[in-house]
């Protein structure tokens, strides 16, 4: 792969940088070795870069250094292959000084009151900043509100760097960029480049997802584009970090709003006896102007239920409103309760009161074939059913146990998928591809399906919701 597919402006002092990427001598540090950071570290390792992973979780660091994986889709062989090219994990931020590029992939969740929790980004940049040196590139990948890179990352680096005269590089009007600054990287380069991965999507390899990059100046954009261009097939430079931050939010808010739309239409269609999934598939045959989104029991994962609030919060700071986002959030958040009501009604039609019912929930992961239950609507649905007196069990091949998290406290173990006739209802919340839906329907008394996983099965036992 060529080191870059982005034509860097000339005379910006990056010759050594391009050369080191070409020779693979660039030391790449990835901070935050979770669902985003670890696969990214492995991609750079595959391309024979010298990669160091940083994480404050010593269990993860030890596991990786022992050649073990803690993410389902990453095999231990991948970790060991990376180790053979020099990959190592550490909790020591002093190692940052040895890095040429530092890519930050730490969580950006919400506080209870739905405001951005920036504590992970703040503590990360505070830990990194004292160890930075001239010529390094720092890139924030975590999803966040527009302005974060400038207000938090650049500000913190400049504050820590003030004493040692180390500042973030920035082209300033009137400041010469040409020959007198040739090959001179007298400060730190900073950019934002959002992670756009779609967990569980095996159709689009990660390298094929174009990498949007917004640097604080043209040099940072060029440096980051060269680095990412060595592993991603396409880089998409934008004019500022804020434009890159907003790009990621637009993508996820677009999904959130469209999922809310089909969730609302699903309720109407079910009421009118129309098959919403048939309607979506028919609409999707239009070669332009329509993109298919599918309804479900609500939205989950780290992005769709969280990211829109980052923009709403920013808008509020500016005295502006985001009505589409609020409405989409309202519709999506109501979906778990809609599923609970539909389940209770289906049980009652079978002559079973909720307080006497035993229900098996299929799938606690927030979507098909992923080992991630962050913000999963299944958790809310299980808790709400329990509050109604339902005895709930669950099965999920990815989660042998479910304990407690930010919004739930379940302490449950996955039930084997057998003797299904002992349950009054099997409730499909996550349509994992490992399940044999024909057998599940055949063995169950009643199946409530919130994912249309049983689309091929014609049975009076199935209730779609
Ligand atoms: N998971 C996804 O599919 C996905 C997709 C697109 C974007 N994102 C965004 O990427 C970012 C990371 O998400 P994730 O899913 O990888 O999170 P994660 O929780 O899986 O991983 C984050 C890692 O960062 C570590 N960490 C926390 N604070 C740290 C610190 N101060 N220093 C070093 N390490 C620290 C944690 O221990 C953890 O291992 C978030 O902003 C998220 O919104 C995630």
Q: Is it the case that residue 169 has pLDDT exceeding 80?
A: yes
Alpha-carbon gap, residue 118 to 122, rounded angstroms: 6
Average pLDDT over the chain reads 93
Query: Of all protein residues, whose CA lies closest to atom 21 belonging to ligand 1?
Result: 34
Token pair 């050369």: residue: 19
Same domain? For 282 and 234 the reply is no
Q: In this structure, are 28 and 148 located in the same domain? A: yes
pLDDT of residue 3: 42
Q: Which of 239, 267, 296 is where one domain is finished?
A: 239
Strand-by-strand arrangement of the 358-362 sheet = 391-395, 358-362, 425-428, 447-449, 462-464
229 shares its domain with 282: no
Let me know whether 220 and 287 are in one domain: no
pLDDT at 134 over 70: yes
Report if residue 250 sits inside a domain: no
Q: 195 C-alpha to center of ligand 1: Å?
A: 10
437 belongs to a structural domain: yes
Decide if pLDDT at 261 tops 90: yes
Cα-based angle 371, 377, 381 (whole degrees, multiple of 5):
120
283 and 235 part of one domain? no
- pLDDT confidence tier of residue 406, bands split at 50, 70 and 90: confident
425 is catalytic: no
Has residue 8 got a pLDDT over 90? no
Confidence of residue 440 (pLDDT cuts 50, 70, 90): very high
Max mean pLDDT among 31-35, 196-200, 369-373 falls in: 31-35
pTM of the shown model = 0.92
pLDDT at 175: 55
Tell me how far apart the alpha carbons of residues 125 and 203 are, in angstroms, rounded to a whole number.
Answer: 34
Residue 259 lies in a domain: no
Same domain for 230 and 370, yes or no, is no
In a domain? residue 113: yes
Residue found by looking up tokens 């990786």 in the block = 64
For residue 463, report the distance from its CA to the centre of ligand 1, in Å. 38
**What residues are in contact with ligand 1 under a 6 Å CB criterion?**
31-37, 54-57, 60, 105-108, 120, 123-124, 127, 142-143, 195, 197, 199, 302-303
Tell me: do 230 and 280 sit in the same domain.
no
Of 222, 239, 256, the position where a domain reaches its end is 239
Looking at residue 86, its pLDDT comes to: 96
Q: What is the pLDDT of residue 157?
A: 97
Q: How far is the CA of 218 from the centre of ligand 1 (A)?
A: 27
The residue that leads in pLDDT, 88 or 182, is 88
Residue by residue, DSSP assigns 287-339 as SSS-------S---SSSTTTHHHHHHHHHHHTT---HHHHHHHHHHHHHHHHH
Report the separation in Å between the CA atom of 120 and the middle of ligand 1, taken as the mean of its atom positions. Answer: 9
Instruction: Say yes or no to pLDDT of 163 above 50.
Output: yes
Mean pLDDT of 378-398: 97
Which residue CA neighbors atom 31 of ligand 1 most closely?
124
Among 188, 218, 239, where does a domain finish? Answer: 239
In a domain, 344, yes or no: yes
- Whether residue 215 is contained in a domain is answered as yes
Residues 126/127/131/136 CA torsion (nearest 10 deg):
-70
Asked whether residue 432 is assigned to any structural domain, the reply reads: yes
- Please, is 110 exposed, middle or buried when counting C-beta atoms within 10 Å of its C-beta (0-12, 13-18, 19+)? middle
H helix or E strand, kind and range, residue 42: helix 37-46
CATH number for 43: 3.40.50.720
Active-site residue among 105, 269, 303, 465? 303
How many domains are there within the chain?
2
pLDDT band at 203 (very low <50, low <70, confident <90, very high): confident
Range(s) of the domain holding residue 224: 15-239
Q: Are residues 229 and 334 in the same domain?
A: no
Do 104 and 209 have their domain in common? yes
Do residues 318 and 204 both lie within one domain? no
- Ligand 1 test: best mutation among 64, 105, 198, most atoms within 8 Å of CB? 105
* From 38-42, 198-202, 430-434, the region with the lowest mean pLDDT: 198-202
Confidence of residue 73 (pLDDT cuts 50, 70, 90): confident
As a whole number of angstroms, the distance between CA 317 and CA 169 comes to 28
Tell me the average pLDDT across 66-73: 93
Residue 331, pLDDT above cutoff 90: yes
- pLDDT over 90, % of the chain: 88
* Per-residue pLDDT at 180 exceeds 70: no
Q: Are residues 310 and 376 in the same domain?
A: yes
Considering the domain architecture, whether residues 216 and 337 belong to the same structural domain is answered as no
SS3 213: strand
Does residue 408 lie within any of the structural domains? yes
Mean pLDDT of 214-232: 96
């Amino acid at each position: 792969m060529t080191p870059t597919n982005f034509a860097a402006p000339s005379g910006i002092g990056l010759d050594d940088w391009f050369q080191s990427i070409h020779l693979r001598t660039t030391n790449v540090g990835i901070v935050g070795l979770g669902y985003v950071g670890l696969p990214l570290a492995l991609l750079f390792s595959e391309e024979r870069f010298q990669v160091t992973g940083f994480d404050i979780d010593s269990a993860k660091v030890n596991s990786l250094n022992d050649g073990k994986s803690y993410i389902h889709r990453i095999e231990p062989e991948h970790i060991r292959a990376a180790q053979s090219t020099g990959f190592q994990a550490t909790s020591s931020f002093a190692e940052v000084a040895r890095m040429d590029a530092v890519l930050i992939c730490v969580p950006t969740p919400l506080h209870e009151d739905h405001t951005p929790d920036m504590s992970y980004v703040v503590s990360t940049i505070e830990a990194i900043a004292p160890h930075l040196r001239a010529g390094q590139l720092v890139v924030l990948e975590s999803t966040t509100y527009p302005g974060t890179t400038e207000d938090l990352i650049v500000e913190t680096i400049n504050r820590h760097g003030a004493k040692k005269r180390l500042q973030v590089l920035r082209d300033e009007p009137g400041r010469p960029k040409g020959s007198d600054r040739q090959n001179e990287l007298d400060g730190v380069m900073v950019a934002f480049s959002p992670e756009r991965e779609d967990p569980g999507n095996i159709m689009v390899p990660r390298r094929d997802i174009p990498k949007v990059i917004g640097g604080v100046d043209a040099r940072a954009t060029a440096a980051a584009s060269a680095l990412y261009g060595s592993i991603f097939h396409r880089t998409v430079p934008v004019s500022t970090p804020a434009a890159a931050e907003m790009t990621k939010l637009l993508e996820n808010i677009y999904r959130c709003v469209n999922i809310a739309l089909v969730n609302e239409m699903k309720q109407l269609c079910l009421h009118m006896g129309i098959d919403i999934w048939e309607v979506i598939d028919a609409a999707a045959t239009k070669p332009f102007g329509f993109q298919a989104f599918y309804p479900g029991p609500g939205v989950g994962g780290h992005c769709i239920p969280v990211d829109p609030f980052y923009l709403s919060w920013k808008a509020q700071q500016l005295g502006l409103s985001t009505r589409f986002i609020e409405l989409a959030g309202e519709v999506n958040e109501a979906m778990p309760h809609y599923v609970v009501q539909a389940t209770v009604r289906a049980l009652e039609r079978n002559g079973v009161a909720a307080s006497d019912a035993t229900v098996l929930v299929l799938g606690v992961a927030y979507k098909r074939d992923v080992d991630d239950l962050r913000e999963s609507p299944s958790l809310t649905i299980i808790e709400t059913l329990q509050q109604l007196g339902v005895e709930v069990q669950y099965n999920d091949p990815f989660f042998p146990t479910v304990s407690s998290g930010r919004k739930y406290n379940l302490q449950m173990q996955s039930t084997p998928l057998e003797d299904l006739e002992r349950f009054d209802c099997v409730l499909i919340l996550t349509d994992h591809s490992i399940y044999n839906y024909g057998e599940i329907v055949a063995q169950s008394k009643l199946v409530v399906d919130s994912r249309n996983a049983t689309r091929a099965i014609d049975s009076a036992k199935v209730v779609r919701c």
